Structure 1
C-alpha cells in the first residue's frame, strides 16, 4: 500500500509529465476558444477533463474554518511603478502586475503576476465563472499569483500542486466604479488580439471588496487551458460594483481576432461553465448569518397561522349565520302552517 509521500510523488510526476505534454501541444500550434465548446479542450489539454477543476458553484456543504484569517495584500495600494501593461491575449483583457505586489497572509508568499476578466454579452449579461447557488454575476475579475517562496517564476509554478493562488472578485451592475475606469478607458487601444498599451499605474486594492475578511476557499484549477489543478482559490463573498455603461464597454470593445482578419470575432462569453465539485472541501472564513432568514420565516409563519385562524372564524360564522337563517325560515314556515290551519 502506498504511503502518502509516495502517493504525492506519483501525483507530482504525473503533473510534470502532463504539463510537458500540454506545453508541447501549445508549442505545436494547438489553440482553444469558447466558441467550439469546452468539451473539446481535454482532447489537447488532458487536465481540462480531469478532477479538481474550476470554477464551481458555491452552495451547500460549506464548512466554516476559523483559521481563515482576513486576506492581507502588500503593494496593492502603491505598486511601485509608473505604468502597467494592458494587453489583449485573444481570450481576455489582461493587466500585467509587478512583483512588488503579493499576498502575505497565506502559508507561502504569493507574488502577483496579472489580472484579467471574464464576462458575457449584451443578450446574456451574466459572465462570472463562479456562481452562488447557480446565480451568475455580471463579470468576474481574477488576480493571479504564484508561490515565489518555492518557485523561481510563474511559469515554473503553474504546474505545481501549490504553485498558484487566485483572488476571485465577482462584479455586479451598480454604481460607477472610478478604479475600473482606469482599465475601461483604454480598452479601445487593445481591441484586437496581441495589441498592448502602457497605462498609468493605479491602486489595485480599490478593485477588491472594502473588507477582505469574508471569502470562500477551495483547491481548484486554472479556468482556461491547460487547466492545471494548481490553484488555491479565494472567492470573495461581497461583489464589487461597476456601472451598466462600464459592463457594456467590456462586452463590446474587444475582439478575439487579429486586427487584419477579414471577419472580426467579438470577445464575448469568455467564461467557463461550472465544474463538478465532487468531494472537494469548500471552506468559508465566516459563519453564515441565518438570523434574517429565520426572522422572515417566523413572520411568514405567523401570517399563515393568522390567515388560517381568520379563515376558520369566518367559515364558522358563515355556518352559524346559515344555520340561524335556516332556523328563522323553519320557524316562519311553522307559523305560516299554524295560521293556515286556523283559517280552515
Structure 2
C-alpha cells in the first residue's frame, strides 16, 4: 500500500473512502471489500492504466543513464521519526524535520512525510506489494514523499501525475540471526503499544531512516510511473523500487503479523496487507555502481596493457 490521506476518512474498520462520485469501504481481509473489488467500486481511479504495484520483469527493464544518485536530506536525523501508529491497515511512522529527497531523475525536490510497511503472515508467507520476476518478498517498506512545492497538500499532489514519489524497499530474512538489525529491533519494540487500530506512541529519538536502511546500495533501483496502491489509487506516483533487499531477522518480521489488529482486541490480526500486482508498466533501471567500477577498472588496465 502506498498510503496518502487524500479523500478518505479512517473512521471505522474497514476504511471508508469518499471519492468524487462514490463512497465505499475497502479492506484486505474480506472478499466483499478486498483489492479485487476496488476497480469496480472506484473505476475512475482504481481501474486506471498505470496502477501499482507491479511485477518487475528484470529482462524487460531498460537502462536509463539519467537514473543517478539521490540526495537524501536529514535521513540521518534521529529525531525525524516522531510517531508510530496502527492505522488498521498498516503500521505508519510520521516523519518531520525537513526530511527530503531529490536527484535520481525525480522532477524536483520531495518532502518525506511518512513511511509504512506491508507484510504477509510472518516470514514464511510473503507480503511485499511489488514482486521481481514473480518473487514476492516477506515485507516491503514505503517512504512516502510529496513535491516540496505543495507544502504537504495531498490534494494538489494527487492532481499532479508526478506529485508524489515513493521509495520502496524489499525486506528479506536475515538467516541465522535474532533481533537484528538493532534499529529494526528498536522499531518493532513499539508494536506492543499499538496492537489496536488508532493507537499511536511517540518515538524516542533512537533511530533514523539511515539506520533502518543501513547497508543498502541506494544507487541501484528500478523506476516506473504508477499509482497509490490503496483507494482511491490516484495515478500520481513516481515509483523507485530498490534492487537490494533489507535483511531483517525472522523473529522481527514475524512480530508484525503476530502483534497488530485491524480493529479492537477481538478483531483479526492484520495479515496479508498488500495489493496484488497490476498490469505491467514500462520499467527502467539505474546502472549498477559495482558494474561501473569494474568496467572502469577494466578500461584502466586495458589502457596500461596497450602502452
Q: TM-score range by the shorter chain?
A: 0.7 to 0.9
Cα separation, 2, equivalents of 1:178 and 1:255: 25
Q: Which runs of 5+ in 1 are unaligned?
A: 1-17, 291-344
Query: Judging changes above 3 Å, is the alpha-carbon distance between structure 1 residues 200 and 45 closer, same or farther for their aligned structure 2 residues?
Result: farther
Q: Give the match's secondary structure for 1:39.
A: coil
TM-aligned CA deviation for residue 282 of structure 1: 0.6
| More deviation, 136-145/52-61 | 52-61
TM-aligned CA deviation for residue 197 of structure 1: 0.7
TM-aligned CA deviation for residue 79 of structure 1: 5.3
Cα separation, 2, equivalents of 1:126 and 1:199: 27
TM-aligned CA deviation for residue 129 of structure 1: 0.9
Cα separation, 1, equivalents of 2:279 and 2:151: 29
Larger helix proportion of the pair: 1
Counting matched residue pairs gives 266
CA RMSD of aligned residues (A): 2.6
Conserved in 2, the CA contact under 8 Å of 1:146 and 1:158? no
TM-aligned CA deviation for residue 146 of structure 1: 0.3
User: Is it true that 1:43 corresponds to 2:40 in the alignment?
Assistant: yes
The residue number in structure 1 matching 2:301 is none
The residue number in structure 1 matching 2:62 is 63
Q: Give the match's secondary structure for 1:249.
A: helix
User: Is it true that 1:239 corresponds to 2:245 in the alignment?
Assistant: yes
The residue number in structure 2 matching 1:144 is 144
The residue number in structure 2 matching 1:177 is 181
Q: How does 1:240-255 map to 2 (within 5 A)?
A: 240-255=246-261
The residue number in structure 2 matching 1:327 is none
Q: Which runs of 5+ in 2 are unaligned?
A: 1-5, 9-15, 292-307
The residue number in structure 1 matching 2:192 is 188
Structure number with the bigger relative contact order (C-alpha 8 A, sep ≥ 6) is 2
2:226 to 220, 230, 235: 220
Conserved in 2, the CA contact under 8 Å of 1:64 and 1:287? no
The residue number in structure 2 matching 1:342 is none
TM-aligned CA deviation for residue 167 of structure 1: 0.4
Cα separation, 2, equivalents of 1:97 and 1:90: 19
Query: Judging changes above 3 Å, is the alpha-carbon distance between structure 1 residues 238 and 196 closer, same or farther for their aligned structure 2 residues?
Result: same
Q: How does 1:90-239 map to 2 (within 5 A)?
A: 90-105=88-103, 106-122=106-122, 124-150=124-150, 153-174=153-174, 175=177, 176-201=180-205, 202-208=207-213, 209-239=215-245
- TM-score w.r.t. the length of structure 2 is 0.79
The residue number in structure 1 matching 2:268 is 265
TM-aligned CA deviation for residue 157 of structure 1: 1.0
Conserved in 1, the CA contact under 8 Å of 2:22 and 2:42? no
- TM-score w.r.t. the length of structure 1 is 0.71
Larger strand proportion of the pair: 2
TM-aligned CA deviation for residue 29 of structure 1: 6.4
Cα separation, 1, equivalents of 2:158 and 2:69: 25
Q: Deviations over 1:240-271 (max 9, x none)?
A: 01101001111100000134xxx321100001
Conserved in 2, the CA contact under 8 Å of 1:79 and 1:100? no
The residue number in structure 2 matching 1:87 is 85
Query: Judging changes above 3 Å, is the alpha-carbon distance between structure 1 residues 236 and 123 closer, same or farther for their aligned structure 2 residues?
Result: closer
Cα separation, 2, equivalents of 1:211 and 1:256: 34
Larger Rg: 1
Query: Judging changes above 3 Å, is the alpha-carbon distance between structure 1 residues 184 and 226 closer, same or farther for their aligned structure 2 residues?
Result: same
